[in-house]
Amino acid sequence: MEAGHRKQTLTRLETRRVLYDNVAVALAFLPVVTCFWLPVTSPLAIALSIWGWRKPGSILPRTKVRFILAIAVGLVGLGIGIALWTAVVRS
């Protein structure tokens, strides 16, 4: 690493990456604890999954299963959030 910087053969060294699939899954499952955040976190989990699909992931090979899981749970949470919201509005 140091030698690459001195010889200027290394243009950029990544020391860490954001794992968007883990963030999306966390956003999808966060409302399990508190249903209050369903209308906020569910669309965020879906949007982050779509946005992060083509971003560079981990240095180690990973599948897109976490993105698919986050989208599925986000859609279910969004449906529950809409159902709860319409129940509150109608009452």
Residue 21 confidence (pLDDT) above 80 = yes
DSSP string, 75-90: HHHHHHHHHHHHHHHH
**Would you say 48 and 22 are in contact if contact means Cβ atoms under 8 Å apart?**
no
The reported pTM is: 0.72
Token pair recorded at residue 35:
């249903």
Q: Which residues contact 8 (CB under 8 A, 6 or more apart)?
A: none
Q: Which residues of 50-73 are buried (b: 16+ CB within 10 A; e: fewer)?
A: eebeeeebeeeeeeeebbebbbeb
Model pLDDT for residues 42-71, shown as the tens digit of each residue: 899 999 999 999 888 877 788 899 999 999
Between 66 and 11, residue with greater pLDDT: 66
